[in-house]
Amino acid sequence: MNKFLFIVLGAFIFLQHTNVTHLEHSLELYQQVVESQNVFISDMVQHIGYMNRYKIPYEYLQITLKECEAQGVDPDFIIRLMYVESQYNRFAKSTKRAYGLMQLQYPTAKEIDPSLESHWQLFDPETNIRIGVAHFKALLEYYEQNYQLAAIAYNRGIGRLDSELAEGGLIDWYYVKIESVEVVQ
């Protein structure tokens, strides 16, 4: 299949640049495509895998993968967290005034990104995911890379979770809900 892809792509580039002065440029473009094919194909396979597993819209997947890589956070977990929080609805709004895909409250988001001017900005997928991943990373650091505690704190808040832990009780229904997000086979 790879050879077929490059033959078609090469023919397309050649046909787009039929005069002699552009032929050299066309060959350079073709060479760049050949050199980058391993990265492109592996990225494409990874994206299709995520989209098939979690039914996440491609736009949100691209942003999530970029932010998770930049922040060093597990994208599988963030994708499941996003699904539990909003079911991938960028306009989701909770009764607790949490907004967007990652269900961020404005004061929390403003603390992470002081340049925010309004809660309306949290309906922008790129802004919401960027801040949501940064917030989750901060919780992971606070709870020493414990994804279960970080996820529960993401939903309830650090103060409430720390109080529950101090009292000796912890109901982890939220973490179980994240872990149970179906992976389509």
Is there a domain that residue 184 lies in? no
Q: Is residue 112 part of a domain?
A: yes
153 with 72, same domain: the answer is yes
185 found inside a domain: no
Domain range enclosing 6: 2-51
Per-residue confidence (pLDDT) for residue 157, from 0 to 100? 87
Both 30 and 119 in one domain: the answer is no
Alpha-carbon distances, residue 125 vs 11, 59, 61, 99 (angstroms) = 37, 8, 10, 11
Q: Are residues 17 and 70 in the same domain?
A: no
Q: Cβ distance 64 to 133 under 8 Å?
A: yes
Residues 134 and 74 in one domain: yes
Q: What predicted TM-score, i.e. pTM, was given to this entire model?
A: 0.69
Beta carbons within 10 angstroms of residue 153's beta carbon = 24
With respect to residue 27, please indicate whether it lies within any of the assigned structural domains.
yes
Examine residue 149 and state whether it is found in any structural domain, yes or no.
Answer: yes
Q: What is the pLDDT of residue 54?
A: 62
Same domain as 75, residue 165:
yes
83 and 25 co-located in one domain: no
Does 46 map to a domain? yes
The per-residue pLDDT for 19 is 44
Residue 82 covered by a domain:
yes
169 and 86, same structural domain? yes
107 and 166 both lie in a single domain:
yes
* Same-domain pairing of 119 and 70: yes
Residues 106 and 22 in one domain: no
Which pLDDT tens digits describe the chain residue by residue (185 residues)?
455 545 544 544 444 444 444 445 444 555 555 555 544 544 555 555 555 566 788 889 889 999 999 999 999 899 989 998 998 999 999 999 999 999 999 999 999 999 999 999 999 999 999 999 999 999 999 999 988 889 888 988 888 888 877 777 665 555 555 565 554 44
Total number of domains constituting the chain: 2
- 26 plus 72 within the same structural domain: no
Asked if 158 and 139 touch (Cβ cutoff 8 Å), the reply is yes
Is 133 contained in some domain?
yes
Domain identity same for 12 and 64: no
Residue 105 host element (H or E): strand 104-105
- Helix ranges restricted to H, 17-105: 20-54, 58-71, 75-86
